[in-house]
């Protein structure tokens, strides 16, 4: 193969390494077939139970690290006319054909694997799902997680994982509410309402507890789609409103406010609405944190936050830390947990707040001191008051 195409092949392998890093649990196998004339030389790379890569090639089996793969595989390609590579992961095969003419990449559904996933009644990486394929098929089909013939869509696996993990952590929150009373849940920035539908199924159909859901989003399209899905599923205990979260008012009692990846300060609006509506529980998984990045200024941090990436991560931590502290000041018991692996989404922190009795003066004082030292005016402070 010529140098140019070897270079392209190597670039692809570098991309593949990143894909592996982002989706380690999805990896199944990597097969490479080097060809010269009619002769073929196969290499098979698999992981053992200790997550060590073993490469079987040219009559030997050797350990190989993911970092060595691009150089090793592209280096071998220099000796041959053609390379055919299949990277097999759950749901998808990536196939590469590299030769003198060029490097072609295509993606194919790994249907057998998707069927296996179905047959395993919803296990990924050994975890059993709460909302199971095979039991909740009508719901999962309607919200677009499953295909019409009951297979998990490849591009919905992450969403399915996220909402199922979210639901798993809801059990102890739901136990805070007295049996028999209707639990009213307000989903802020509901989008297509995957979370609301799945949580409704969990509380109503699995836990057999009465519940009512209100979804808010400023996008007309997603609100229409959510109403349509509720109608198709026959769920009369749901309403959806096209509105900005900060403008929503209602006389209805709200027990729990949830928000999953509401953009930037929409998370603060959701928390603020929960506080104003006196919700017993506020559960927020924040998304991007742009607000404090250009505000915070603290001399002591300067030698560290000269690195842009650290400055951004520090802004994330300060934003969520101040949200939690403000909630504590208002009398909530707060915990912050990683609700899902960062490989699924880097936006994986869940703020869980349960209303207790009385305000916490010390936390309020700490909040005021911190915002002063950092020179910040976070939205959380404004939305919980106004």
Q: Footprint of ligand SAM on this chain (CB under 6 A)?
A: 189-191, 194-195, 216-219, 222, 244-245, 260-263, 266, 269, 287
DSSP conformational letter for 145? S
Residue 239 burial by Cβ neighbours in a 10 Å radius (0-12, 13-18, 19+)? middle
Question: CB of residue 124 vs ligand SAM: minimum separation in angstroms?
Answer: 19
Question: CB of residue 129 vs ligand SAM: minimum separation in angstroms?
Answer: 17
Question: CB of residue 218 vs ligand SAM: minimum separation in angstroms?
Answer: 4
Q: From residue 299, how far is each of 98, 223, 308, 374 by CA, in Å?
A: 53, 45, 16, 9
Closest CB to ligand SAM among residues 195, 275: 195
**Residue 171 and residue 174: Cα distance in Å, rounded?**
5
Closest CB to ligand SAM among residues 190, 327: 190
DSSP assignment string, 193-261: -HHHHHHHIIIIIIS---EEEEEEES-HHHHHHHHHHHHHHT--SEEEEES-GGG---SS---EEEEES
DSSP conformational letter for 293? G
Question: CB of residue 226 vs ligand SAM: minimum separation in angstroms?
Answer: 10
Closest CB to ligand SAM among residues 209, 218: 218
Residue nearest to ligand SAM (CB): 191
Q: From residue 55, how far is each of 21, 47, 71, 76 by CA, in Å?
A: 18, 9, 14, 13
Contact 33, 84 (CB under 8 A): yes
User: What is the distance, to the nearest Å, from the Cα of residue 193 to the centroid of all Cα atoms in its chain?
Assistant: 15
Question: CB of residue 322 vs ligand SAM: minimum separation in angstroms?
Answer: 19
* Beta-sheet pairing, 349-355 with 183-188: unpaired
Question: CB of residue 20 vs ligand SAM: minimum separation in angstroms?
Answer: 26
DSSP conformational letter for 306? T
Q: Which of 167, 184, 379, 341 is nearest to 264 (CA)?
A: 379
Q: Residue 318, Cβ neighbours under 10 Å: how many?
A: 23
Closest CB to ligand SAM among residues 263, 304: 263
Question: CB of residue 219 vs ligand SAM: minimum separation in angstroms?
Answer: 4
Q: What is the CA radius of gyration of the chain?
A: 25
Question: CB of residue 131 vs ligand SAM: minimum separation in angstroms?
Answer: 15
Closest CB to ligand SAM among residues 204, 261: 261
At 321 the three-state DSSP class reads helix
Closest CB to ligand SAM among residues 84, 141: 141
Closest CB to ligand SAM among residues 101, 290: 290
Closest CB to ligand SAM among residues 103, 380: 380
Closest CB to ligand SAM among residues 53, 213: 213
Six token digits for residue 323: 């949200």
Question: CB of residue 247 vs ligand SAM: minimum separation in angstroms?
Answer: 8
């Amino acid at each position: 193969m010529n140098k140019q195409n070897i270079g392209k092949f190597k670039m692809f392998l570098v991309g593949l390494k990143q894909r592996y890093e982002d989706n380690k649990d999805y990896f199944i196998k990597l097969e490479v077939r080097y060809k010269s004339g009619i002769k073929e030389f196969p290499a098979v790379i698999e992981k053992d139970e200790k997550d060590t890569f073993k490469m079987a090639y040219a009559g030997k089996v050797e350990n190989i690290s993911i970092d060595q793969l691009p150089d090793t595989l592209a280096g071998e390609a220099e000796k041959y006319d053609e390379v055919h590579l299949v990277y097999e992961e759950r749901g998808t095969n990536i196939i590469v054909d590299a030769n003198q003419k060029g490097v072609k990449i295509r993606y194919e559904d790994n249907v057998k694997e998707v069927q296996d996933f179905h047959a395993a009644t919803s296990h990924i990486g050994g975890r059993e799902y709460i909302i199971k394929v095979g039991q909740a098929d009508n719901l999962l089909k309607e919200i677009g997680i499953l295909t019409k013939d009951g297979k998990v869509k490849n591009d919905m696996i992450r969403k399915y994982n996220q909402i199922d993990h979210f639901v798993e952590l809801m059990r102890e929150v739901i136990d805070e509410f007295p049996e028999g009373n209707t639990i009213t849940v307000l989903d802020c920035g509901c989008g297509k309402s995957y979370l609301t539908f799945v949580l409704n199924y969990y509380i109503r159909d699995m836990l057999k507890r009465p519940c009512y859901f209100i979804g808010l989003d400023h996008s007309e399209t997603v609100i229409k789609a959510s109403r349509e899905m509720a109608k198709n599923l026959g769920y009369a205990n749901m309403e959806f409103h096209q509105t900005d979260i900060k403008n929503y008012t209602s006389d209805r009692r709200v027990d729990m406010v949830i928000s999953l990846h509401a953009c930037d300060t929409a998370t603060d609006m959701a928390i603020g609405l929960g506080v104003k509506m006196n919700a017993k529980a506020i559960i927020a998984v924040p998304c991007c944190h742009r607000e404090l990045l250009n505000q915070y200024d603290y001399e002591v941090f300067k030698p560290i936050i000269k690195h842009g990436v650290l400055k951004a991560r520090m802004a994330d931590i300060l934003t969520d830390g101040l949200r939690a502290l403000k909630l504590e000041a208002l009398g909530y018991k707060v915990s912050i947990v990683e609700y899902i692996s960062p490989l699924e989404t880097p936006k994986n922190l869940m703020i869980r707040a349960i209303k207790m009795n009385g305000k916490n003066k010390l936390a309020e004082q700490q909040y005021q001191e911190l915002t002063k030292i950092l020179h910040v005016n976070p939205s959380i402070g404004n939305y919980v008051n106004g």
